[in-house]
Amino acid sequence: MKLQAILLSSRGIKFLGSKIFEKTDVHLICSTKQEESIPQFIQDKLKKKYIVEENFNKTTMVMEYNKDEVIRIFEKLLKEFSVQNIRVICSQEANLELASNIRDRFSIKYGLKPDSLVFFRDKIKMKKKLLNNEIRVPKFLEEIPKLEKNQNLFKELQSFFNSPMVIKPRFSVGSRGVYKIRKEKDLIDFLNDCRDEIHLYEVEELIEGDMYYCDFVIQNREILVELVSKYSFNTTDFQKGKNLGSTPLLNKDPLTQRLLGFAREVLNSFGNIDGCFHMELFLSISNEIVFLEIGARPPGILAVPVYIDTFDINLLEMDFFIQTGLPIEQKNIILESNNYSFFMMFPKLSGKIEALNHPELDSKYNLNWKVKVGEVTQKTDTNINYAGVIQVWNEDYDNLQIDFEYLKNEFIPIQYSTN
C-alpha cells in the first residue's frame, strides 16, 4: 500500500510534481479560502480533501487551523490506515506547530516533533540556543521591562542597547507587528498600539545593513542543497512602501561562501536535523554577519519558482520527501545556471488606484496584480499583503541584476489618485 501523505495546508501545492502523486496518496487539509486557489489539475490528483475552519491566534498573529477538527480527521484516518503508513506534511509556518503536535500525539514517523520545532518557532529560545554556541545574534531582551511609574522606558532601553531597537512578536511571521524604535515617539506609538499584548513582544538591537537568506535541504543529516539570496531591502521596509524582492547569489561569489559558512554553524547548533530550513541573516554596515531568525520550512512568495527556474531545484518537493521519509532522488546537484531569475513584490499604499504600471526591462518577466484600477487600498501591513508580484528571467546574470536594481530603486508600480 502507498504511504498516506496528509498535507496540512495547500501552501505551494501547485509545485508538487507527478512523482509525489505516484509514490504517495495525497490527502489535503485546508481552509475554504485556500481551496479556492488550488488548481483543478492538482485537485484531480488528491486522494481526499478535508475542509477545516481557521482561527486567529493572538500569540502568533496568524490564522491557524482548528486543532480539534484536525485531530478528528486523523482519528478517522487511523481507523482506516495503519499509523506506520501515515505521514504528516506541512510547509506553512502558521500550522507547523499543529503538524508537530499531531505527529507527537499519534506517534507518526518523520517530520519535526514539538521538542525540536520550538527552536524554529520561538525567537527567544532560538537565539539563546545560538548564544550558547557563540553564534552572533542581536542583543535582546526576552520581554519589555516593567518599570516603576517615574521611570522612563525609552531611556532604560537606550541604556541597555546603546543603539536603535526593534520590538517584535516572539512567535509571529511575515514581519507582522514589527516596530523600529529610533526615538521616544516610536516607543510611544508601539505602546499605544499594543499595550494589551505587550507580553507577546521581545526587544532586540536594530542591525543596520543588507539582509540575506539561506535555504538548506538536509536528509539523513547530510546537506543536499544550500542556497543564498539577497533581499532588495530589509523585509520591514516593505510596509514603508519599498519594493521588496530577492535575487539568488552565484555560488562562486565569495560572499555566498562566507554567508554559507556562518549558516552551517547555525545548523550545527540545532543538530543538523533533517528538514528544509529558511534562515535570514544580516551583513551589517561594519561587515559583520548577524543571525536574524530561522524557519523549518521552504521560503515563501516566489522564491521556490525562482530556484526551480534558476537551479532546477524544487524545495517544496524536497521538503515533502523529507517529511514522508522517502529518499530525495535528485542527485549530483550542481548550482550553476544559464537562466537566472528573481522576484519582486509591490506594496499597497493607502488611496485610490489610478493606474497600474508595467516596467520596461531587458529581461523577460511575468507580472501578476492582486489589485485593479479604481480600487481603494489600505497600506500594506504584512509581507504577504502585496499589490502585485513580478518574476523576471534573463540568461545573463549581470543584465538581470541591472533590472533588479531598477525595480528596487526606480520603478513606481502604482499611481494613486491625488484627489
In the predicted model, what is the mean pLDDT of residues 70-96?
Answer: 96
Examine the fold and report which residue of 109, 126, 148 is the final residue of a domain before the chain moves on: 109
Mean pLDDT, the chain, rounded, equals 92
Query: Does 241 lie in the same domain as 189?
Result: no
| Torsion angle defined by CA atoms of residues 342, 347, 352 and 356, in that order, rounded to the nearest 10 degrees | -10
Q: Are residues 251 and 339 in the same domain?
A: yes
Domain count, the chain: 3
Residue 102 domain-assigned (yes or no) = yes
Q: Average the pLDDT over 85-95 and give the result.
A: 95
Residue 126's nearest CA partner among 277, 289, 255, 232 is 277
pLDDT at 415: 96
Residues 396 and 298 in one domain: yes
List, for residues 244-262, the tens digit of each pLDDT value: 999 999 988 999 999 999 9
14, 30 Cβ separation under 8 angstroms: no
DSSP string, 297-323: S---TTHHHHHHHHHS--HHHHHHHHH
Q: Are 324 and 89 in contact (CB under 8 A)?
A: yes
Could you tell me if residue 116 is inside a domain?
no
**Cα separations (Å) of 399 from 338, 339, 362, 393, 408?**
13, 12, 8, 10, 14
Q: What is the pLDDT of residue 175?
A: 66
Collect all residues with Cβ–Cβ distance below 8 Å to 36 and sequence separation of at least 6.
Answer: none
- Comparing C-alpha atoms, which of 176, 202, 175 is closest to residue 280? 175
Is pLDDT of 336 > 80? Answer: no
Q: Is 128 contained in some domain?
A: no
User: Do 198 and 301 belong together in one domain?
Assistant: no
Mean pLDDT (whole number) for 284-289:
96
Q: Is the pLDDT of residue 59 over 80?
A: no
* Predicted local confidence at residue 46, as pLDDT: 95
Please check whether residues 91 and 105 belong to one and the same domain: yes
Answer whether residue 158 is part of any domain. yes
**Residues 258, 170 share a domain:** no
Cell digits of residue 105: 500525539
CATH number for the domain that contains residue 325: 3.30.470.20
Residues 269 and 329 both lie in one domain: yes
* Gap between the Cα atoms of 379 and 278, Å rounded: 27
- In a domain? residue 403: yes
Q: Which of 253, 400, 264 is nearest to 336 (CA)?
A: 253
User: What is the reported pLDDT for 195?
Assistant: 79
Q: Say if residue 43 is in the same domain as residue 88.
A: yes
The confidence score (pLDDT) of residue 333 equals 64
Candidate from 142-151, 200-209, 214-223, 403-412 with smallest mean pLDDT: 142-151
Phi, psi of 331, rounded to the nearest 5 degrees: -115, 170
**Per-residue pLDDT averaged across 344-351, rounded?**
95
For range 294-305, the mean pLDDT: 93
Q: What is the pLDDT of residues 12-39, one digit of tens each?
A: 898 898 889 999 999 999 999 999 889 9
Examine the fold and report which residue of 60, 93, 109 is the final residue of a domain before the chain moves on: 109
Same domain for 383 and 234: yes
- Sign, CA torsion 13/18/21/23: negative
Q: What mean pLDDT is predicted for residues 283-293?
A: 97
Q: Which domain holds residue 184?
A: 139-205
Q: Kindly report, residue by residue over 113-125, the tens digit of the pLDDT.
A: 999 999 999 999 9
Q: State the CB neighbour count (10 A cutoff) for residue 236.
A: 18
Q: Is the pLDDT of residue 146 over 60?
A: yes
Separation between Cα atoms, residue 182 and residue 31, nearest integer Å? 40
Q: Assess if residue 216 is contained within a domain.
A: yes
**pLDDT of 404:** 98
Q: How many CA atoms lie within 13 A of 34 on its CB side?
A: 24
Does residue 32 sit in the same domain as residue 81? yes
Domain of 69: which CATH number?
Answer: 3.40.50.20
- Looking at residue 149, what is its pLDDT? 55
CA neighbor of 395 nearest in space, from 357, 354, 340, 342: 340
Q: Are residues 145 and 267 in the same domain?
A: no
131 within a domain of the structure (yes/no): no
Banded model confidence at residue 147, pLDDT cuts 50, 70, 90:
low
Label the pairing between strands 209-219 and 244-248.
Answer: unpaired
Question: What is the predicted pLDDT for the residue at 347?
Answer: 95
Interhelix angle 96-106/114-121, rounded to 10 degrees, is 170
Q: pLDDT exceeding 90 applies to what percent of the chain?
A: 75
Please report whether residue 254 resides in a domain.
Answer: yes
Q: Residue 335 — very low, low, confident or very high, per pLDDT cuts 50/70/90?
A: low
> Which pLDDT value is given to residue 264?
97
Q: How many Å apart are CA 227 and CA 192, to the nearest integer?
A: 40
Q: Provide the 8-state DSSP code for 61.
A: T
Domain end call among 205, 235, 258: 205
Q: Tens digit of pLDDT for each residue in 152-211?
A: 888 889 889 988 999 998 887 766 778 899 999 999 888 888 877 888 899 999 999 999
The C-alpha R_g of the chain, in whole angstroms, comes to 22
Domain with residue 172: its CATH number is 3.30.1490.20
Residues 350 and 253 in one domain: yes
